[in-house]
Chains A and B, each alone.
Chain A
């Protein structure tokens, strides 16, 4: 007899919705220092467990513990704190500028600053990132001028991208920052191609692809893993799991795979999961993966477990789909406060110095903003020319575009 029971469709739901008490009891957090550190040439098969745990260095007392500790000097850590604070202040000023109508759109990093700021330090000059819109820390920590970022956000007459791109879709080859498309997932596989090119040319450079938890569902994610695996491309494939893809919780993209890092296992790619709010852990894991890539051993998939404290963008209102208090309940804390506490704990930092640096950073960012605004903002002051709109579609302007430009009267 055939069992004639009717089927029913399973649709995952987050633990809580607005009005409920935040609950992260399902997120298992291992003790800091408890996850082993394999050699960089480890067989991916032998480290499968690292795709299901969370590599952490900073413990609750602000101590750096375990085998992943010690990848940065105290000076580097203080600089790292400064980078994260710069990014946070930059975000605050630009969010305000958006509210003031100086630009159309902005995307902040609140709660995720450690991921891109610490990762940047694990790369060498000439390496190339293929970022999403929430890795501006790669630019900040790489020394890219903030005023250039603001010029881009304002689409003013000094915008390095001539007003052609949505705010925050920066591009800087010089700073190892590939032009952000604004499409989701497409650039993950491009990073693999860039890395393959470096290997084809027997170069020493490596690439890093970036994607969010939600976009791992795109076919480009799968293509990237296939190509990276097949050709053992010198690439680091970064998945930033900030729990939310606009209003969609990470369970919709993750399905039954347990973790996003586990997606790499079927491809035979070394796959690690790391505390994304732990600057030291992010750097240590990124450095491990960078050494592995640069030693021609192959790709690494890293899942950063973090939380998007802010809205997805200035066009989003998270209170419509998640409890307002959820970010405070997030068990991995705040990356800036955690690094600050660590530096105080080891005696190289203090609350006073922190306050002082906050003030200095605010001054720095405000000064950059003033300079950028001298070149105009989206609706006032200098702006890219209409004539320039027709340039750069091709290296050489074809006849039909010349005719159109003429028709437009520029």
Chain B
């Protein structure tokens, strides 16, 4: 399956499994979403369980909160993560805090799916990676899958979760893995081990990272698209990096991270989002706090530049194999 098909399958089996799951957002009903992640669900489950909404992100999230407090499990789509800002108030001050402020009297089991990241020439309003704006908010959980198998399992786990989950889908990975070599022909998920997705219901637990590539020289912490860039670059520059796919940013699997860094003695943090105050800063802080005496070199961050995501210069912005490879070499010399 592609990641789109895996996500669609996750929603499909969840709707079949649990009648309280409802799906809505801009263009998600009849048409099945601009990325087609909800294609066919309205026909299968009816238009009161999968429907189109007005173009109002605060309305989509606001009504979803009301539905969740009633007892439904909304799995809603924000068409691009870049469009979520009108809903930010509802997400941060309402969804995130409902359980806490009502002492569990009302809860908000809800999944907010949104395509994230660049790589499709989307310009500044279709390429952003706003995960740090959510990881900073207590009460939210933040998930970023890197492949179809995880996307399905993590999405099912997110729908099952009793609290709100922000589910960021790296849109460049929708149709195939992407190692950052934009100049090469696109690859497909067909034939990729992680594109082999079961049709049935299964979950991948939140809060568990996974080692994608075992290595001894340096630990690379990555998520989403950057996992593939990290794996490919390690091979290309011939540095025996251990690549950890975080999968969930909140809750974070600190144990897996620390075990790896203590083993390798070096750590690089990668993300596509802008550098300053990015989630990488949190990772760096945690690693130095817990692994300071194991470190043989300063922890390095490779991230998007602190500029809006440009259109023509997309690949100058994207932290691709050249920048990651150079940073790896520099680290090993440090």
Contact = CB atoms under 8 A, between A and B. Distances in A.
30 contacts: A164-B100, A165-B101, A173-B102, A173-B105, A179-B105, A183-B93, A186-B90, A189-B63, A190-B94, A191-B66, A192-B63, A193-B62, A193-B65, A193-B67, A196-B63, A197-B66, A197-B72, A201-B70, A201-B72, A220-B58, A224-B59, A224-B62, A226-B56, A227-B54, A392-B99, A394-B141, A394-B163, A395-B162, A398-B251, A399-B254
B103 A190 contact: no
A183 B96 CA distance: 13
Contact of B66 (A161, A169, A189): A189
A194 B69 contact: yes
Interface of A: 128, 130, 160-162, 164-165, 169, 171-173, 178-179, 181, 183, 186-187, 189-201, 207, 219-220, 222-224, 226-227, 230, 392-395, 398-400
Given A197-B67, A230-B54, A173 B62 contact: no
A162 B103 contact: yes
A181 B94 contact: yes
Which of A173, A199, A226, A392 is packed against the most chain B CB atoms within 10 Å?
Answer: A392
The 9 closest A-B pairs by CB, nearest first: A193-B66, A193-B63, A189-B62, A223-B59, A179-B102, A398-B251, A197-B70, A190-B66, A194-B66
A394 B58 CA distance: 23
A189 B139 contact: no
Nearest to B87: A223
Nearest to B255: A399
A200 B22 contact: yes
A186 B94 contact: yes
Which of A160, A173, A200, A395 is packed against the most chain B CB atoms within 10 Å?
Answer: A200
Interface residues of B, number: 45
Contact of A183 (B66, B71, B94, B207): B94
B138 interface: yes
Nearest to A209: B66
Contacts of A192: 62-63, 66
A178 B106 CA distance: 8
Interface in B22-40: 22
Contacts of B54: 223, 226-227, 230
Contacts of A173: 102, 105-106
A390 to B, nearest CB: 10
Interface string B135-148: 00011010000000
Given A162-B103, A392-B100, A186 B66 contact: no
Given A160-B103, A181-B94, A395 B163 contact: yes
B59 A227 contact: yes
A207 B66 contact: yes
Interface string B210-234: 0000000000000000000000000
Given A392-B99, A392-B100, 7 more contacts: A130-B66, A173-B102, A186-B89, A197-B71, A227-B53, A392-B104, A395-B163
B105 A393 contact: no
B252 interface: yes
A196 B249 CA distance: 32
Interface in B63-115: 63-67, 69-72, 86, 89-90, 93-94, 97-107
A180 to B, nearest CB: 8
Interface string B278-318: 00000000000000000000000000000000000000000
Contacts of A226: 54, 56, 59
A293 B6 CA distance: 39
Nearest to B20: A201
A187 B70 CA distance: 13
B262 interface: no
Nearest to A200: B48
A166 B228 CA distance: 47
Contacts of A165: 101
A161 B106 CA distance: 11
A180 B66 CA distance: 13
A268 to B, nearest CB: 14
